[in-house]
């Protein structure tokens, strides 16, 4: 069994799409942990704020298979990919980190996202002890402390995501 950290983001009806996304993830893998949901400013574009979170998945998929499944979930939930990678979106699912049972260090699957507080801070909540390129993920998150102070927790959205996980298990 492998482990993966997947980040979730939305700035079009996020309170609707994030719970649907976590329910879809739970159908393909075991959701072992769910971070808080944060409202964060958009990066690289003007537009509405994003809602961002991360999950830790236990799964029987190779990294390439995970990426394909994430894209399928995005499409099923209305994501339209255009030329602008920073455009507003219903859903963004990124495979950030991947770890095999024998791996002492996590493999970075999305280097661009590792440079953003909105990805690293929630990821550290679900896999802070993972070693990424020689240092624990929680230390990477600490480097974003100043940026993260502007993040606003969205407890109601997190609760809806937890509820989606509970319903999925019944």
Residue numbers annotated as active site: 79, 89, 92, 94
Residue 95: phi and psi, rounded to 5, are -75, 105
- Please tell me the distance from the alpha carbon of residue 7 to that of residue 44, in angstroms, as a whole number: 18
CA 121 to chain centroid: 10
Q: Considering only CA atoms, which of 11, 73, 58 is closest in space to residue 38?
A: 11
**Rounded CA gap, 128 and 10, in Å?**
23
DSSP for residue 157: H
């Amino acid at each position: 069994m492998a482990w993966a950290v997947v980040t979730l983001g939305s700035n079009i009806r996020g309170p609707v799409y994030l719970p649907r996304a976590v329910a879809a993830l739970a159908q393909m893998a075991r959701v072992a942990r769910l971070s808080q949901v944060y409202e964060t400013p958009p990066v690289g574009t003007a537009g509405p704020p994003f809602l961002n979170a991360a999950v830790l998945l236990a799964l029987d998929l190779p990294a390439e298979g995970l990426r394909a499944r994430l894209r399928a979930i995005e499409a099923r939930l209305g994501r339209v990919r255009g030329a602008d990678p920073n455009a507003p979106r219903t859903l963004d699912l990124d495979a950030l980190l991947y770890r095999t049972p024998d791996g002492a260090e996590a493999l970075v699957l999305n280097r661009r996202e590792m440079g953003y507080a909105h990805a690293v801070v929630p990821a550290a909540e679900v896999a802070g002890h993972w070693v990424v390129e020689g240092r624990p993920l929680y230390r990477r998150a600490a480097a974003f402390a100043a940026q993260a102070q502007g993040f606003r927790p969205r407890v109601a959205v997190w609760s809806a995501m937890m509820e989606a996980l509970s319903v999925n298990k019944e």
